[in-house]
Structures are given as structure tokens and as C-alpha cells.
Amino acid sequence: MNDLSKNQSAFDLSIAAVRKKFADRAYEQSQQLDALLDRIETQPDDQHALQSVLQIAHRIAGVADTLGFGRLGELARNAENLTRTAIEVNTRDAIGATIQVTDALIEELDQIGQDTPLDEFGG
Amino acid sequence: MKILIVDDDDFALELLGSALSGAGYTDVTAASSGEEALGAVAHTDTPFDIFLLDIQMPGMDGIELCARLRKMAQYASTPIIMITAMQERRFIDQAFAAGAMDYVNKPFDPIELGVRISLAARLSNQAKKVDAYATEAASLKARTGMGAAFGVDEPIALRDVPRVISMTAMENYLLRLTYWMAIKSQSVVFSIPGFREIHARIDPSDAYDILSDTAAAITVGFKHTDHLVTYVGNGQFVVVVSGKNTVIGPETLWSIEANLEQDPPLLSSGEECPIRLVMGEVFSPGIWSAPNRLNLLLRPLDADLSPAGSGAEERARIW
């Protein structure tokens, strides 16, 4: 095995470990988002809750694709963009769109938390 | 190669660390905020060679951290690579204006990251040589009153002028702009006629001051725009302006020249040094010609600008 292959294998193993940790924390993130959505549904102009959704979605969007969670990454990017818009324009429609996409994000996180396919990274 | 990575997300830090380790870089320090990063910089025994900074962080963001690092003499030319999930041009422009040398998008591709770090490592080694040279030049200047020479065609970095970035950073900036960002840009070249003769006659530190003052006057001329400036050698400056609504015309040149007349560069002899500029054609790319390379921007100017005009002869007499 040459150096390049060794590095690639080491990287794959390390990605598998991070992916496992991420999946373990998916349920926790889903719970956080769920609680924030409850607050937004009760009080749609809760800027603090919207900012928190934005921050969580931004973080997920930053790593999901690299960890092999492509659909999650796409949903997180959508949630990030729509939440940013909702914060800027603060309209009922924009907040409704944020709630809808964040719901889909929660569903995907729950799915990942329950069933983490690690085989493609050898984990 | 000692690398500092800064991101507020634990997963992103772990992934970056793994990708760097996979690319053969194992001396990596991680910080989860701008404040923590400054602490690491303050307490390290040996300086960092490369910085990787996330742009969006709570508290001190990556752009502010980049600007703070650049203010430290030790890190004036150390490669700083920004990591961003933000595709909005204003964030990218701000990062380059604050002193970033390159950026990678999140989610990042480990292979691309490795390549960019290798390029940065090469630049870091060059920067160390330049810094050693600058120290030597400063020492020479203190002892003899003469600065160390730089070639007339050398694209030297003009430090401490806001929005003026190194040629390498400008090349990275242009290359990394998306197609749509690029076609919403305008660029123009300004040239000091007869700079070759000027450069040959005066002290190198005076030549540096002339370039630095000219760059500052150019940025003042574009103060109402989102712009970046770089010096490309031979007395030529490239300005890239974001957005197509800014009118760049003779008034722009007059405004810059008025700034230079009002506050002309001073030679070490105490004499004022009047500077005039020539402005090239404004390059506003069409749909098939996004300007993603600096040499494409410069090419039309080679033909348009004569190296020396009557103004140059007049100044040559002064010096």
C-alpha cells in the first residue's frame, strides 16, 4: 500500500468515526429543532428562535455532504436560506416556509439517528 | 507546517483535522472561536504557517479574526484561507479585503482542501523569504538610508492600504468567483506612465512609498464601491469593482489624481513627488467572457498604455 492509499484509508476510517458521532447526535439536534419550531409556531416573530434554527441548519449544511449525508445537506442548506429570508423579511409566508423545510430536516435527522448506513465508509 | 484551524462546529473541526492529516499535515491546532484562536496565537512558541478560518462564527467572525491576524507583523503575509458555506459575494469580498489569500467552500472536498493547503504551504515558504528580505531591507535602510531594491516588474505586496490585496490573493479571488459573480464585475487598470524610469532613478523605499500612496489614492477614488485593488508590477494597478452600476470614467481618474495632487508622495529627500495616472479601458465582461484570470484583464492594457509619456519625461527631469 503506497502513502496515498494509506492516507486515504486513514481518512476513510476517521470519516467513519465522525459520521458515527454525527449520527449519534442527530436525535439531539432533531429535538433541539423541534423545540425551536414549537416556539416559532407559538410566536412567529421569535427572532432568537429563528436565529438558533439558522445556526443549527448552517452547521449541519457545513458538514453533512462531506460525511455522506447528501439529502440532509440539501435540506439543511434550504432551511438555512429560508430561515435567513424569514429573519430578513419577517412575513407569515416566509416563516411558514421555514417551518415546512425545518420539519423535513427534523424528519431526515430522525431517520439518520435510527439507521446509520456506515458500510460505504467501512464503519 | 504548523496550521491553525478555527470553526465553531466540533464536527467541522474534526473533519478538517482528518482531511489535513490525510494530506500529510499533522501539526494542526484547533480552536472553536475567534477569541480562542487569538489565545492560541498569543501562547504558541513557534508561529503558525497557515490559518484556516470559518467565516460565520458567533462572536468574533472569521473576517474580523483575519483582519486582526493581519495587523500582527508576524502574520502580515502568512496564508489565510477562509472556509465558507456562504455563496454571497459580499462575504467573500469582505474576507479578501480583510487579508484572506484564498477560500474553500463548505461542504469541503478533502482532496481539494489538500491541494489548496499545498499551494498555501508553498506560499508560506515564499512569505517567510519575503519577510526575511523585508527585515534585511529595513536594517539596510536604517544603516545606509537606502532600502533594498525590488524589480520594476515585481508585483510587490503593498501592505497597510485598505482593500489593496496581493496579486496572488487577487488571482485566487478572480478564479474562485462563480461565473455569475464574475459577469457582474467591472475591472480597470491604472498605470503610472514612465514608472520604469522613475524606479531606476530613486531609492527603492521611495518607489515603494509612491506605489503605496498611489494605491491608497485609487481606493479613495472608488470609496463608494465594493472593490479590491492589486499591484501587478511595472507601475500598474488592477481594480475589480463588484456590480455593474458603478460608472467608471474620466471623473474616476480625475478624482484619483485630485487625491494624489492634494496629498502627493514625499521622497526621503523631503521633495514632493507629483504623480499622474493613465486609466485603461473599463473591462465589463459580456456573457461569454467572464474575466477569471488577471492576465486577461491586463492584456488589453499592454496595447493601450505606452510605457512612458511626456509626463514621465517631465518627472525624470525632476529626479
Q: How many CB pairs under 8 A join A and B?
A: 62
User: pLDDT, tens digit, for every residue of B144-187?
Assistant: 555 667 889 888 888 778 899 988 888 888 877 766 666 678 88
**B15 touching A (Cβ < 8 Å):** yes
> Nearest-CA neighbor of A109 among A30, A16, A25?
A30
Pairwise CB contact (< 8 Å): A59 & B12 = yes
pLDDT exceeds 50 at position B223: yes
B88 to chain A: closest CA residue: A81
Q: Are residues B253 and B191 in the same domain?
A: yes
**B14 touching A (Cβ < 8 Å):** yes
Q: Name the grid cell of B179.
A: 461565473
Task: Give the residue numbers spanning the domain of B187.
Answer: 149-318
Question: Chain B contacts of A77, Cβ < 8 Å?
Answer: 85
Whether residue B175 lies inside any domain: the answer is yes
pTM for the model stands at: 0.75
Calculate mean pLDDT across residues B110-131.
78
Please state which of the ranges B25-34, B35-44, B168-177 shows the lowest mean pLDDT: B168-177
Distance CA B72, CA B133 (A): 18
The burial of B265, by beta-carbon neighbours within 10 Å (0-12 exposed, 13-18 middle, 19 or more buried), is given as buried
Q: What percent of chain B has pLDDT over 90?
A: 39
Confidence of residue B269 (pLDDT cuts 50, 70, 90): confident
Q: Are residues B89 and B194 in the same domain?
A: no
Phi/psi-derived region of residue B145, left when phi > 0, alpha when psi is between -120 and 50, beta in every other case: left
Confidence of residue A77 (pLDDT cuts 50, 70, 90): very high
Predicted complex: ipTM over 0.90: no
Whether residue B306 lies inside any domain: the answer is yes
Q: Name the grid cell of B272.
A: 514632493
Confidence of residue B141 (pLDDT cuts 50, 70, 90): low
What is the per-residue pLDDT for B76?
86
Q: Cell 456590480 belongs to which residue?
A: B243
Q: What percent of chain A has pLDDT over 90?
A: 70
Shortest CB distance from A14 goes to which of B9, B18, B109? B18
Whether residue B174 lies inside any domain: the answer is yes
Q: Are residues B73 and B25 in the same domain?
A: yes
Please state which of the ranges A30-39, B136-145, B277-286, B300-309 shows the lowest mean pLDDT: B300-309
pLDDT exceeds 70 at position A7: no
End-to-end CA distance of chain B, in Å?
Answer: 46
Three-state DSSP at B161 gives: coil
Confidence of residue B310 (pLDDT cuts 50, 70, 90): very low
Q: Are residues B101 and B198 in the same domain?
A: no
Q: Name the grid cell of A97.
A: 416556509
The per-residue pLDDT of chain B, averaged, comes to 82
CA–CA min distance A79, chain B (Å): 13
Q: Are residues B70 and B181 in the same domain?
A: no
Whether residue B139 lies inside any domain: the answer is no
Whether residue B142 lies inside any domain: the answer is no
Residue B157 belongs to domain with CATH number: 3.30.70.270
Q: What is the full DSSP assignment across chain A?
A: --HHHHHHHHHHHHHHHHHHHHHHHHHHHHHHHHHHHHHHHH-TT-HHHHHHHHHHHHHHHHHTTTTT-HHHHHHHHHHHHHHHHHHHH--HHHHHHHHHHHHHHHHHHHHHHH----GGGT-
CA B112 to chain centre: 23
Distance CA B65, CA A70 (A): 31
* CA dihedral sign of residues B194, B195, B199, B200: negative
B106 to chain A: closest CA residue: A62
Whether residue B140 lies inside any domain: the answer is no
Pairwise CB contact (< 8 Å): B11 & A59 = yes
Overall number of domains in chain B: 2
- Report the amino acid identity of residue A12: D
Mutate to test the interface with A, among B7, B11, B109 (most CBs of A within 10 A): B11
Q: Are residues B196 and B302 in the same domain?
A: yes
Pairwise CB contact (< 8 Å): A66 & B18 = no
**B23 touching A (Cβ < 8 Å):** yes
All structural domains of chain A, each given as residue ranges with its CATH number in brackets, are 3-114 (1.20.120.160)
Q: B245 versus B287: which is more confidently predicted?
A: B245
Q: B302 versus B294: which is more confidently predicted?
A: B294
Confidence of residue A43 (pLDDT cuts 50, 70, 90): very high
Q: Are residues B183 and B308 in the same domain?
A: yes
A11 to chain B: closest CA residue: B22
Integer CA distances (angstroms), A113 to A14, A31, B33, in order:
19, 11, 28
What is the per-residue pLDDT for B291?
52
Q: Are residues B53 and B175 in the same domain?
A: no
What is the per-residue pLDDT for B318?
31
Distance CA B302, CA B191 (A): 10
Calculate mean pLDDT across residues A26-53.
94
pLDDT exceeds 50 at position B262: yes
Calculate mean pLDDT across residues B219-231.
92
Whether residue B138 lies inside any domain: the answer is no
User: pLDDT, tens digit, for every residue of B71-97?
Assistant: 998 898 899 999 987 666 778 889 999
Distance CA A95, CA A44 (A): 7
Whether residue B135 lies inside any domain: the answer is no
Q: Name the grid cell of A13.
A: 476510517
B24 to chain A: closest CA residue: A7
Distance CA B166, CA B158 (A): 7
List, in sequence order, every residue forming a beta bridge with B283; answer none if it has no partner. B187
Q: Are residues B154 and B203 in the same domain?
A: yes
Q: Checking DSSP bridges between strand B50-54 and strand B80-84, what pairing results, if any?
A: parallel
Q: Are residues B153 and B122 in the same domain?
A: no
Hey, which of B141-145, B149-153, B233-237, B295-299 has the most confident mean pLDDT? B233-237
Total Cβ atoms within 10 A of residue B148? 16
What is the per-residue pLDDT for B185?
82
pLDDT exceeds 50 at position B314: no
Radius of gyration of chain A (CA): 17
User: Residue B193: CA atoms inside 13 Å, Cβ hemisphere, count?
Assistant: 17
Using the 8-state DSSP alphabet, how is residue B190 labeled? E
Q: Are residues B108 and B187 in the same domain?
A: no
Q: Are residues B158 and B112 in the same domain?
A: no
